[in-house]
Amino acid sequence: MKPLVQTEKLGKYYPRGGGLFTRGTFTRAVDGVDLTVGTGETVGLVGESGSGKSTLGRLILRLVEPSFGRVTFDGHEITSLSARELQPLRRRMQIIFQDPYSSLNPRMTVRDILAEPLRIHKLTARGSEEEGRIVELLKRVGMRPEILDRYPHEFSGGQRQRLGIARSLAVQPDFIVCDEPVSALDVSIQAQIVNLLLDLQEELGVAYLFISHDLRVVEHISHRVVVLYAGHIVEEASAERLYRGAIHPYTRTLLAAVPGNEAARRALPVLTDATSPARAAEEDGCPYFPRCPSGKPGTCDVTMPEMSVTSDDTNHRFACHFPESP
């Protein structure tokens, strides 16, 4: 599979604290991430809140500027491009936001919402050509053209998310960051949106970075799954491999905490402010060490584990000094 999106040692540090006479510290939101998304592939990105998932997605799109590292899109290194140089590539990279209630301009009709990206990128002439393209977009996401003059507040959450998907498709992208696109929706509507994304991928060949904390949804939609903790990738494998043979203690804890496994959920280490992903990233050694049931003082709290591969699958990567047996 041809690589479409690649990051190399990508990172984002945010300053925190400090005063007039004191030096502040940094929160490492994303810290040296190497990630690849292939053409037409879905890569699931999972982890707790504060692990850096949304920041990573925005770094890839240059919606947030990186502190260091590189992003390559279809062979083009985009990290150093100016806004003008980046403009032609922006059409090929889009995002679907988490909240369908705030991601659409409430003062714009559906027609204007879908026409805006077409006009920005000069993809159609105004008039019948533009109107035809808008109607086609609505049909792709299962909505009728009769709604063109309605406003976002007149729709349900699921319908608004369909409009958000239609807007992202308007510019015919090759890659879409789906940032928690179903987390604000009812379970029945979640399934409709996920199936819509799958159908669109099969039809259009678009690639997704699918960000979610819901491991059941990620398993359903993803070809590969990447587990992020404190801004670091701790494990990566095909969806089938990861769900049946995870070896990083954090991944196994996430899988055990999937709703329906109440006994395993009670065994999940309590997340406190002192051990949250965002704070753990400031410490030396493995960021998961304060919560890890397998961690060993003198090793895990001192040295960051290197990324390794399993002996039977070179596509199964993990960063752990003491990985567990599948």
**Residue 170 CA: distances (Å) to CA of 76, 119, 134, 182, 274:** 23, 10, 8, 20, 44
pTM, two decimal places:
0.91
Report the pLDDT value the prediction gives residue 119, as an integer from 0 to 100.
93
Using 50, 70 and 90 to split pLDDT, how confident is the model at 187? confident
Report the pLDDT value the prediction gives residue 74, as an integer from 0 to 100.
96
- 283 CB contacts (<8 Å, ≥6 apart)? 289, 290, 301
Q: Which domains does the chain have, with CATH numbers?
A: 3-92+173-318 (3.40.50.300), 106-170 (no CATH)
Report the pLDDT value the prediction gives residue 264, as an integer from 0 to 100.
47
* 57-88 per-position pLDDT tens digit: 999 999 999 999 999 999 999 999 999 999 88
| Residue ranges in the chain assigned as alpha helix (H) | 53-61, 83-90, 110-120, 128-140, 157-169, 187-204, 215-221, 239-245, 249-256, 262-266, 277-280
Report the pLDDT value the prediction gives residue 115, as an integer from 0 to 100.
96
Which amino acid is residue 47, in one-letter code? G
**Phi, psi angles (nearest 5°) of residue 14:** -115, 130
DSSP 8-state class, residue 33: E
Which amino acid is residue 126, in one-letter code? R
Using 50, 70 and 90 to split pLDDT, how confident is the model at 26? confident
**Among the ranges given (12-26, 125-139, 146-160), the one the predictor scored with the smallest mean pLDDT:** 12-26
